[in-house]
């Protein structure tokens, strides 16, 4: 007997500071094709990764409340920075709507993959300052050693489409030097892509680090967490139809439509993007 509730056909809300969270939306749509999704990118105020905690909390609350007003059944905080800085506030403000961030699923996947208990987290400046991944991993594995490196320039490179070639390679070499300067035996065996944009740079990051170890993409781990939460909450959509997709932004629909398909892996145009004022 299914424990489905009246709103199981409602969309899953996915919130991000801008376009990058489409990598998380992509993972959710691929894992859960029958679920409808409503994405809100706060493109008017991106980037969050260089902002203060107070601003990130305020922006995240405003954006998420808008998604709740539009009838979402669950909120996925796709933005690592917002997950690191504002998750508790979002959970408290949105009750009873379930809220899932990307940090805990990413940390869990990293702990499962690691053999030497050493982890490297690549993230924005604000996420690194908050040490949210360090705390989440340490809770799961008290013996873990965790390093976090701020790689904010990767965000701009991913948006510019410079995910391969000399500029991306030089940035990766520079950012990863604290790790690559050490012998292979002294390096972490898991690398967490702790920012929405970084999955697009997986190839250059892998090339710089060399073979071996695991690159953990928080987006994929989060999609699995969403699936579990929908099932356990009786919220899974069972209509059998392909889920609808609604895209909302707070500014610059044409730019979002130009960059977005590379992050989402699906084509869409600016006519498919609705502008909202928070």
How near is the Cβ of 19 to ligand DGL at its closest, in Å?
9
Do 52 and 77 touch, CB atoms closer than 8 A? no
As a whole number of angstroms, the distance between CA 72 and CA 170 comes to 42
| Residues at the site binding ligand DGL, with contacts judged by CB under 6 A | 16-18, 20-21, 46-49, 79-81, 124, 127, 155, 195-197
Residue 46 or 99 with smaller CB distance to ligand DGL:
46
How near is the Cβ of 47 to ligand DGL at its closest, in Å?
3
As a whole number of angstroms, the distance between CA 256 and CA 241 comes to 27
195, 216, 226, 230: the catalytic one is: 195
Q: Is 151 a catalytic residue?
A: no
Residue 18 or 252 with smaller CB distance to ligand DGL:
18
Residue 46 or 259 with smaller CB distance to ligand DGL:
46
How near is the Cβ of 109 to ligand DGL at its closest, in Å?
16
Burial grade of 230 (CB within 10 A; 0-12, 13-18, 19 or more)? buried
Q: Is 237 a catalytic residue?
A: no
Residue 88 or 244 with smaller CB distance to ligand DGL:
88
Query: Which residues is 21 bridged to in the sheet?
Result: none
As a whole number of angstroms, the distance between CA 13 and CA 36 comes to 9
Do 247 and 39 touch, CB atoms closer than 8 A? yes
Task: Count the neighbouring beta carbons within 10 Å of the beta carbon of residue 101.
Answer: 26
28, 38, 79, 235: the catalytic one is: 79
Q: Identify the residue whose tokens are 């939460």.
A: 229
As a whole number of angstroms, the distance between CA 192 and CA 209 comes to 13
Residue 235 or 264 with smaller CB distance to ligand DGL:
264
What amino acid positions are annotated as catalytic residues? 79, 195
């Amino acid at each position: 007997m299914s424990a489905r509730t009246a709103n199981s056909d409602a969309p899953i809300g996915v919130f991000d500071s801008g376009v990058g969270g489409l990598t998380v939306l992509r993972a959710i749509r691929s894992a859960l094709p029958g679920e409808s999704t409503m994405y809100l990118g706060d493109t008017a105020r991106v980037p969050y990764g260089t902002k203060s905690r107070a601003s990130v909390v305020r922006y995240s609350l405003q954006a998420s409340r808008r998604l709740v007003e539009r009838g979402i059944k669950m909120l996925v905080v796709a933005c690592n920075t917002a997950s690191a800085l504002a998750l508790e506030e979002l959970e408290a403000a949105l009750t009873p709507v379930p809220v899932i961030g990307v940090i805990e699923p990413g940390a869990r996947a990293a702990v499962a993959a690691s053999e030497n208990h050493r982890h490297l987290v690549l993230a924005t400046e604000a996420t690194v300052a908050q040490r949210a991944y360090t705390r989440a991993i340490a809770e799961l594995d008290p013996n873990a050693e965790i390093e976090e490196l701020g790689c904010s320039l990767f965000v701009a490179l991913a948006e510019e489409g410079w995910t391969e070639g000399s500029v991306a390679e030089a940035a990766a070499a520079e950012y990863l030097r604290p790790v690559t300067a050490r012998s292979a035996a002294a390096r972490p065996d898991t690398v967490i892509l702790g920012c929405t944009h970084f999955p697009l740079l997986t190839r250059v990051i892998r090339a710089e680090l060399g073979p071996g170890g695991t690159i953990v993409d928080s987006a994929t781990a989060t999609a699995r967490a969403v699936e579990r939460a929908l099932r356990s909450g009786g919220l899974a959509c069972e209509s059998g139809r392909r889920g609808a997709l609604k895209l909302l932004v707070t500014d610059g629909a044409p730019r979002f439509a130009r960059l977005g398909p590379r992050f989402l892996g699906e084509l869409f145009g600016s006519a498919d993007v609705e502008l909202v004022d928070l």
